[in-house]
Amino acid sequence: MSDAYNPETEGAKMSFATDMSYGDYLGMDAILGAQTPQSSAHDEMLFIIQHQTSELWMRLILHELSAARELMLAGDTAPVFKMLARVARIFEQLNNAWDVLRTMTPSDYTTFRESLGASSGFQSHQYRLIEFMLGNRNTAMMRVHEHRADLLGKLEAELEQPSLYHIALRALERELGVSFDAEVYQMRAPHASNDAVIEAWAQVYRAPSEHWVLYELAEKLVDLEDYFRRWRFNHVTTVERIIGFKRGTGGTSGVKYLRRMLEVELFPELWHVRGVL
Ligand code: HEM
Ligand SMILES: N[C@@H](CC(=O)c1ccccc1NC=O)C(=O)O
């Protein structure tokens, strides 16, 4: 008989015929059954898992942002800071993940790129939902989901709700006793910079101790956008490294399109305010 240590002797439960196990709880059969490479290329598994893990983290981002929005609407800001800090950390996790994908060379990628057809991250509805929630609401991005009423419905439902930034701006109005133009609160357009909003944030930044909660909220949002920008930058750099200036499978110009996306400002006034202090 082997003298290998048997944890059963100290009480480890070994039978899960009728009890919920680790795999049951985590839905491991569904998760580990969801990798279906379209080619026999070795690196396609890396590619699939990289995207699936990213989508799982995005799912958590959406969970945190939804809760943060509810709490902000209820005026309960303390837990919101924790949630926004967590979202920034998740982006950092996604940023670090590029190191794994970067081990794939251009020649590795060409072994299966054709198998991807017209599919592309451009069609990630969770990515679009994150953008919409934060306030970057470019409705032109929704058409790729027209064939999926469920996904389109989620994006449409999001557009019915104020963005997280809208809610922050409402709080700013209340704090300073000011009122922003209605155009600031457009529901179906990317948030555009507004001078009155810059001036309002400037009041907060000139006297942080008098407006501590809003100051902290603003800095959490800047932090989040900072990490999000790094994600976009890592993406475009990895893309250039792997496919150069080829067109994207999603039909865009590829790196040129992604470089344009680097110009997106989620919370423009929070960046512009730095220049007027
Ligand atoms: C070999 C690695 C990758 C390449 C070559 C690549 C390439 C591209 C290209 C060319 C686009 C532009 C749309 C198109 O025409 O296809 C794009 C968009 C996008 N990709 Fe990737 N990508 C890679 C990895 C990833 C990963 C790991 C993610 C994580 C989920 C991701 C998420 C996205 C998203 C969300 C967009 C839309 C961005 C936007 O519209 O602002 N990509 N990608
Ligand atoms: N757009 C990429 C393909 C790609 O990266 C991709 C394909 C399917 C699912 C996710 C992807 N990731 C990001 O766009 C390309 O043009 O090579």
Map out the domains of the chain as residue ranges. 42-112+120-276
pLDDT at 2: 84
Mean pLDDT per 10-residue section of the chain, whose length is 277 residues: 92 98 98 98 98 98 98 92 96 96 96 98 98 98 98 98 98 97 98 98 98 97 97 97 98 98 98 98
Cα(249) to ligand 2 centroid in Å equals 6
pTM of the predicted structure, to 2 decimals? 0.97
What was the pLDDT predicted at 1? 66
Query: Which CATH fold would you assign to the domain 42-112+120-276?
Result: Methane Monooxygenase Hydroxylase; Chain G, domain 1 (1.20.58)
Q: In angstroms, rounded to a whole number, what is the distance separating the alpha carbons of residues 261 and 235?
A: 11
Binding residues: 47-51, 109, 113, 235, 249
**Helix-helix angle 164-176:44-73, to 10 degrees:** 30
Instruction: Looking at the CA of 94, name the nearest ligand.
Output: 1
pLDDT tens for residues 47-90? 999 999 999 999 999 999 999 999 999 989 889 999 999 999 99
Q: Binding site for heme: residue ranges?
A: 235
Q: Is 124 exposed, middle or buried (0-12, 13-18, 19+ CB in 10 A)?
A: middle
Token pair 């699936």: residue:
52
Cα separation values, 161 from 129, 154, 176, Å: 12, 11, 24
